[in-house]
Structure 1
Amino acid sequence: MRTLSRTLTAPLYAVALVALSAPVAAAAPLSPAADLEWSVSTVDADQSFRGLDAVDAQTAWVSGASVSGGAAKVYRSTDAGSSWVDVSPPGSTGLNFRDVEAVDARTATVLAIGEGEASRVYRTTDGGATWTETFRNDEPTAFYNCMDFYPGGQRGLAVSDPVRGKFRIIATEDGGRSWEVLPDAGMPDSTGEANFSASGDCLTISGRDAWFGSGGAQSRVFHSEDGGLTWSATDSTIPAGEAAGVFALAFRTPGQGVAVGGDFAAPADGVDATARSNNGDTWRSAGDLAHLGEDVSWLGHRLVVVGQGGSVGGSSVSIDGGRSWRQFSTALFHTLDCTDDGACWAAGGSGRVGTL
Structure 2
Amino acid sequence: MNRIYLITVLILCISCTSEKKYTPRDITGVSVTPLMEDSMSVRAIEIMPSGTLWFADDRGRYGYFRYGGQMVIDSVTYDTIVPHFRAIASNGRDVFMLGIGNPALLYKVNEKDEPELVYREHHEKVFYDAMTFWNEREGIAMGDPTSDCLSVLITRNGGNTWSKVPCEKLPPVKEGEAAFAASNTNIAVSGNRTWIVSGGLRSRVFYSPDKGNTWEVYDTPVVQGEPTLGLYSVDFYDRHHGIAIGGDYTRPSDNTANKVVTTDGGKHWKLVAGKKPPGYRSCIQYIPGTQGKEVIAAGFEGISFSRNGGRSWKPVSKEGFYTIRFLNDSVAFAAGKGRIARLTLKQNKVIAP
> Contact conserved, 1:42 with 1:350, CA < 8 A, in 2?
no
Structure-1 residue corresponding to 2:191 = 207
Letter in 1 for 2:162: W
Question: What displacement does 1:289 show?
Answer: 2.9
Question: What displacement does 1:233 show?
Answer: 1.7
Letter in 2 for 1:267: P
> Are 1:175 and 2:158 counterparts?
yes
Structure-2 residue corresponding to 1:253 = 238
C-alpha deviations, 1:283-316, integer Å up to 9, x for none?
11122433422111111221111011xxxx1001
> Are 1:350 and 2:338 counterparts?
yes
C-alpha deviations, 1:157-215, integer Å up to 9, x for none?
11121122211211101121100111222322213101100001111211111111111
Structure-2 residue corresponding to 1:263 = 248
Structure-2 residue corresponding to 1:54 = 47
In structure 2, do the counterparts of structure 1 residues 103 and 343 end up closer, same or farther at CA, with 3 Å as the change threshold?
Answer: farther
The whole-number CA distance in structure 1 between the counterparts of 2:307 and 2:298 is: 15
The whole-number CA distance in structure 2 between the counterparts of 1:17 and 1:271 is: 31
Task: Count the aligned residue pairs.
Answer: 313
C-alpha deviations, 1:121-172, integer Å up to 9, x for none?
10013x165110000113333321111110x221111112112221121110
C-alpha deviations, 1:253-305, integer Å up to 9, x for none?
02111111110120122332211111122111122433422111111221111
The whole-number CA distance in structure 1 between the counterparts of 2:112 and 2:341 is: 19
Question: What displacement does 1:227 show?
Answer: 2.0
Structure-2 residue corresponding to 1:157 = 140
Matches within 5 A, 1:210-225: 210-225=194-209
DSSP 3-state at the match of 1:199: coil
> Contact conserved, 1:263 with 1:292, CA < 8 A, in 2?
yes
> Contact conserved, 2:77 with 2:83, CA < 8 A, in 1?
no
> Contact conserved, 2:332 with 2:343, CA < 8 A, in 1?
yes
DSSP 3-state at the match of 1:163: coil
Pairing partner for 2:280 from 259, 279, 292:
292
Structure-2 residue corresponding to 1:307 = 299
Structure-2 residue corresponding to 1:74 = 62
Matches within 5 A, 1:75-114: 75-80=63-68, 82-91=69-78, 94-104=82-92, 107-114=94-101
Report the TM-score, using the length of structure 1 for normalisation: 0.82
The whole-number CA distance in structure 2 between the counterparts of 1:135 and 1:223 is: 24
Report the TM-score, using the length of structure 2 for normalisation: 0.82
The whole-number CA distance in structure 2 between the counterparts of 1:51 and 1:204 is: 15
DSSP 3-state at the match of 1:238: coil
> Contact conserved, 1:89 with 1:130, CA < 8 A, in 2?
no
The whole-number CA distance in structure 1 between the counterparts of 2:31 and 2:253 is: 21
Deviates more, 1:332-341 or 1:274-283: 332-341
Pairing partner for 2:325 from 334, 337, 347:
337
Question: What displacement does 1:111 show?
Answer: 0.9
C-alpha deviations, 1:210-252, integer Å up to 9, x for none?
1111111111111111222332222222211211111111111
Question: What displacement does 1:351 show?
Answer: 2.2
Structure-1 residue corresponding to 2:218 = 234
Larger Rg: 2
Runs of 4+, deviation exceeding 6 Å: none
Letter in 1 for 2:295: L
The whole-number CA distance in structure 1 between the counterparts of 2:186 and 2:259 is: 14
> Contact conserved, 2:324 with 2:335, CA < 8 A, in 1?
yes
For the aligned residue pairs, the C-alpha RMSD in angstroms reads 2.2
Structure-1 residue corresponding to 2:9 = none
> Contact conserved, 2:201 with 2:229, CA < 8 A, in 1?
no
Question: What displacement does 1:90 show?
Answer: 4.7
The whole-number CA distance in structure 2 between the counterparts of 1:223 and 1:198 is: 20
C-alpha deviations, 1:6-26, integer Å up to 9, x for none?
xxxxxxxxxx968xxxxxxxx
> Contact conserved, 1:262 with 1:273, CA < 8 A, in 2?
yes
Letter in 2 for 1:50: R
The whole-number CA distance in structure 2 between the counterparts of 1:128 and 1:201 is: 27
Structure-2 residue corresponding to 1:278 = 263
> Contact conserved, 2:170 with 2:214, CA < 8 A, in 1?
yes
Letter in 1 for 2:240: G
In structure 2, do the counterparts of structure 1 residues 329 and 340 end up closer, same or farther at CA, with 3 Å as the change threshold?
Answer: closer
> Contact conserved, 1:49 with 1:348, CA < 8 A, in 2?
yes
Identity over aligned pairs, percent: 25
Question: What displacement does 1:103 show?
Answer: 4.1
The whole-number CA distance in structure 2 between the counterparts of 1:305 and 1:61 is: 21
